[in-house]
Amino acid sequence: MSLMNIALIVYIFASIAYIVREIWRSSVTKWVSLGLLILAFCFNLAMVATRSIEAGHPPFSNLYESLVFYACCTAFIYIVFEFVYNFRIVGALAAVLSMLILFYATLQDDTIRPIMPALKSNWMLIHVVTYMLGYAAFGIAFVTSIIFLVVKPFAKKTKGDAGAEGKEILPRNFDKLSYKIVAFGFPFLTLGMITGAVWAKKAWGDYWSWDPKETWSLITWLAYLVYLHTPLVLPKMSINKSKASVMLSIWLLVAFGIVNFTFMGLSYLPSAEDSAHVYGLKK
């Protein structure tokens, strides 16, 4: 069985374990679910390392390689936040998200091909790693936003009926977790843009050329910049906390859609056919 299939299977079992953990909430289910996700991450990381050795360069030269690394980063970011915030309910969807990204990679061309001279640079490694860490954090924030929008109404009812804090579906101030995750990922996105500009200057002679990839990268950056500053504005507009939380969560769903369009969707636009920045998205 290939590393890909093993990783996919372990991600699925990790997701199931997190669901079981949410139902029973015992120390055993906590460590089993987290252990399975760490195991899946290790298999995913082994795929990245193996591919890098086989290709002879960092594994970011096409969509297949980028997706494998993206799934790995997503699992890693969640594991970090699991230890920091002791997530429970988020783990199941985080594991599913990594699994879906990895599964999508299986649909791509995994042929190893030589990379263009401009990509043989240390700036490529820094640029892609920082971007992927930012994207991964936004993916986890996307998951927490979905959970907040779907579960929160039921969570309120459950708390009111049961009256016990231990029976709450969502932890207190769960809506603020998304903000903290985005605040963690945004500097990586910013650093990715800066290193990309420096790399472009060394490779092509210009820091910024306004091609479709660069333009949508800027749109992505602005979308999350607006999100980070919106909580400062909404109270001045007489919008109560409950509605503000819903609006911010919906905004994160839209913003993550922009992320995925920037990352994968641009390659299908005719205007991006000649862009040097979508080399990795074409088969």
**Residue 100 pLDDT exceeds 90:** yes
Residue of 192, 196, 258 whose CA lies nearest to 224: 258
What mean pLDDT do residues 250-279 have? 78
CB-based burial of residue 195 (10 Å sphere; 0-12 exposed, 13-18 middle, 19+ buried)?
Answer: buried
Query: Which two structure tokens, joined as six digits, stand for 283?
Result: 């088969």
Query: Which two structure tokens, joined as six digits, stand for 219?
Result: 């749109």
- Residue 256 confidence (pLDDT): 96
- Relative orientation angle of helices 175-204 and 241-263, to the nearest 10 degrees: 30
pLDDT-wise least confident of 82-86, 177-181, 207-211: 207-211
Q: Give the chain's mean pLDDT.
A: 84
For the segment 6-65, what is each residue's pLDDT rounded down to a tens digit? 999 999 999 999 999 888 878 888 899 999 999 999 999 999 999 999 988 888 888 899
- Residue 160 confidence (pLDDT): 47
Q: CA–CA separation, 153 vs 166, rounded Å?
A: 17
**Residue 264 pLDDT exceeds 60:** yes
Cβ 127 vs Cβ 192: under 8 Å: yes
- How sure is the predictor about 124, in pLDDT bands with cuts at 50, 70 and 90? confident
Over the range 122-134, which residues count as b (16 or more CB within 10 Å of their CB) and which as e?
Answer: ebbebbbbbbbbb
Q: CA–CA separation, 181 vs 186, rounded Å?
A: 9
**Residue 90 pLDDT exceeds 60:** yes
For the segment 145-188, what is each residue's pLDDT rounded down to a tens digit? 998 888 777 665 544 444 444 445 666 677 788 999 999 999 99
